[in-house]
Amino acid sequence: MSEQVTVKEAVEVKVEKKEALFSKKNKRLLADPMDDSNPITVQVLGVCSALAITVQVEQAIVMSLSVIAVLAIGNVLVSLLRHAIPARIRIIVQLVIVATLVILVDQILQAFAYDVSKKLSVFVGLIITNCIIMGRLEAFAMANKPWQALLDGLGNGAAYGMILVVVAVFREFFGSGKLFGVQLVPDAFYEAGYMNNNMMILPPMALIVVGLIIWFQRGRNTKLIEDH
Amino acid sequence: MKFDKDGNGFTFGFATVMVVVVATVLSVASISLQPFQQKNKTAEKMQNILKTIGVEVSRDEATKIFGDYVKERIILDYSANASTPKTGAIDPLDKEDAFNINMKKQYKSKKWEKRAYPVYICEKDGKQYRVIPMVGKGLWGPIWGFVALEADNNTIFGASFDHKTETPGLGAEINTADFQDQFPGKKLFDATGKFISIKVMKGGAPEGFEHGVDAITGGTITSNGVTDMLKKTLKVYQPYLEK
């Protein structure tokens, strides 16, 4: 009887090894960061860059794409090397991988997206210090297979980007009356006394918008409310 | 012997291989992307020079029309002796061409006497302007800019500044129109012909003052850097401008 159970378990493990690329579990790797374990609004990581580069939507999108690229590739590389990385220097190895990817992204932006690269200035370099990236490498990629690591990277990167873009839409629209640099608030409004909210352009407003998003999210998703 | 992943030998070996691989990847990337980056930087330089004489164009446009406005390119030495002017198309390999002077390298050489001092003589709507490039020191790294002088070699027609790593929102504001638009109409020499330069003044320049502009709040060191850069660079050009 007990032997049978063991066999059954073994079979299950084997089945799991051959699971479909987009099994339910794998899909959750992509979907969870969007809501239940969002890096910005739930784990409150990477807030620094979320404050700094959300004044315009274009910057926010380029920054998000850069983070997605660094996080996904970094996750896959660390996952591939996870059996080889010596435990004592694993953080340094992760850091070197992230730093290399960030420099590559920066160089590529300078070559092909010069204007955006100038606007993002130091913040591209600061992707290295984004806690989301080191967090995912250490917590997930070190213990999972490359495909799962890729999904996790894409999921977390996209979740970070989603919040960034939402905040940027609010800030650019109310702060400068524009989206993607195109003026949306008609001139007639300004003539009638409407004014751009200059506060929106300043970093504190990003914090407040992120706070409002967290509030909204918790109101909708009661799982996130801790009981004290 | 059992293979020990966490032994000293493997750890050192891993680190060494990793560093070599990373260095190779970065070097290859840097070298292969350099032509593209250089093109952007050259175009941006042209764009900034044109901006000071009031020609606002995109970077791509700037490379096309640069020659229409910038007629002569001259290099001065520290005693303001001018080289033979270069005209026509820019040969990127010609070291004698003022446009190819790498201002950032100039910034690295501490000796002001050994630097080269380029001047661009520009023409727009029949009027002549001299554009003077400059480099200086901000808070974190180099700052640089271009100042266009009107035909009297005294009144500023336009100025553009930029920086490498100044603090966003503070010192970095020197590359915004708000800061740069204060310069047109300011004068380098006073009524008696004495060289004064332009000061970036903390607390704001007095109304109607011809030798000062408002500094940037929270960007004092960068502002002082601009003052210094203007004064030290333009001083070298003084004999040339008085001619």
pLDDT class of B33 with cuts at 50, 70, 90: very high
Q: Above 80 in pLDDT, residue B5?
A: no
Q: Which residues, in sequence order, are CB contacts of B57 under 8 Å at separation 6+?
A: B47, B50, B65
What pLDDT does A55 receive? 80
Per CB-CB distance under 8 Å, the chain B contacts of A110 are: 33, 37, 40
pLDDT class of B147 with cuts at 50, 70, 90: very high
pLDDT one-digit tens code per residue, B99-111: 887 777 776 777 7
Q: Which residues, in sequence order, are CB contacts of A133 under 8 Å at separation 6+?
A: A67, A70, A71, A74, A98, A127
CB pairs under 8 A between A and B: 57
What pLDDT does A17 receive? 53
- Is this complex scored with an ipTM above 0.90? no
Quote the minimal CA–CA distance from A204 to chain B in Å.
13
End-to-end CA distance of chain B: 83
CB A143 within 8 A of CB B70: no
What pLDDT does B26 receive? 94
- Closest-CA residue of A relative to B140 is A122
Q: Above 50 in pLDDT, residue A13?
A: no
Question: In angstroms, rounded to a whole number, what is the distance separating the alpha carbons of residues B127 and A211?
Answer: 56
Say if the Cβ atoms of B40 and A103 lie within 8 Å. no
- Residue scoring higher pLDDT (B132 or A197): B132
Please state whether the predicted TM-score (pTM) of the whole model is above 0.80: no
Q: Which residue has the tokens 């901006």?
A: B51
What pLDDT does B2 receive? 58
What pLDDT does A23 receive? 78
Say if the Cβ atoms of A112 and B29 lie within 8 Å. no
Q: Which residues, in sequence order, are CB contacts of B44 under 8 Å at separation 6+?
A: A114, B59, B62
Q: Cβ of A108 under 8 Å from any chain B Cβ? A: yes
